[in-house]
Amino acid sequence: MSFKLPKLPYSYKDFEPYIDRKTMDIHYNKHHATYTNNLNKEISNTSMKNLSIIEILKRAHIESPAIRNNGGGFYNHNLFWDILVPHTKYTHPSREFNEVFQKNFDSFDLFKDNFYKVSVNHFGSGWIWLCVTEEKLKICSTMNQDNPIMHGMGCEGTPILGLDIWEHAYYLQYQNRRLDYISSFWKIVNWIKVEENYKKERNK
């Protein structure tokens, strides 16, 4: 199996003023493309070459660090692009999905507050996740390109939303103002897609 860089359903400029087009271009064509190419190279002569990305991630802890890092980078960015929407097409959680947030966090606003706090308190590069577990929704973070699908993260579950807080995701525009980038993220989340991810996982 050879993994491919996904085609984006929008242009690089569609997220301005929240993410500038140059950052989107570099993030996608340089960083994500490199993870994709390196993942294919690292698994080419291993027992993992015919596995799905989920199966690879579940075994990443017993393989090489390169497979773990590049497999995570490939999967994490796929999810990130998938849950973004141009701000001119911004969506709100449906009434049904709002009830899910109320059940898990008391309200949608409190969910955002908790997600923001986890993001702010995460030191260094990594990702912030909203995950589906057997019991409930859960917010957590991982370092580098790790994600909750990998073994032993202390952050179990299936991600349905992820925020990239590596500097390459925001530094050209925001420099050291990562908090502003985190706040801007809410302007471009595709809640229709996040809800689809939630329902898909719940219906398994």
Tracing tokens 């994500």 back to the chain, one arrives at: 32
Treating both helix axes as pointing N-terminal to C-terminal, what angle do 33-43 and 65-82 enclose, rounded to 10 degrees? 140
**Segment 118-124 mean pLDDT:** 96
87 among the known binding-site residues?
Answer: no
Q: Calculate mean pLDDT across residues 93-116.
A: 97
Residue 13 lies in a domain: no
Q: Residue 69 domain-assigned?
A: yes
Q: Indicate the pLDDT class of residue 116, thresholds 50, 70 and 90.
A: very high
Higher pLDDT pick, 77 / 63 = 77
Q: Please tell me whether the peptide bond between 17 and the residue prior to it is cis, using omega within 30 degrees of 0.
A: yes
For the stretch 18-66, pLDDT in tens is 999 999 999 999 999 999 999 999 999 888 999 999 999 999 876 789 9
- Give the range of the structural domain holding residue 41, as residue numbers without chain letter: 20-204
Domain of 54: which CATH number?
3.55.40.20
Q: Which range (49-53, 76-80, 86-90) has the least confidence?
A: 86-90
Give the tens place of pLDDT for each residue, 169-191: 999 999 999 999 999 999 999 99
* pTM (2 d.p.): 0.95
Structural domain includes residue 2: no
Give percent above pLDDT 70 in the chain.
Answer: 99
To the question of whether residue 122 is assigned a binding role by annotation, the answer is: no
Total count of domains within the chain: 1
In this predicted structure, what is the pLDDT of residue 1? Answer: 66
Q: Compute the radius of gyration of the chain from its Cα atoms.
A: 17
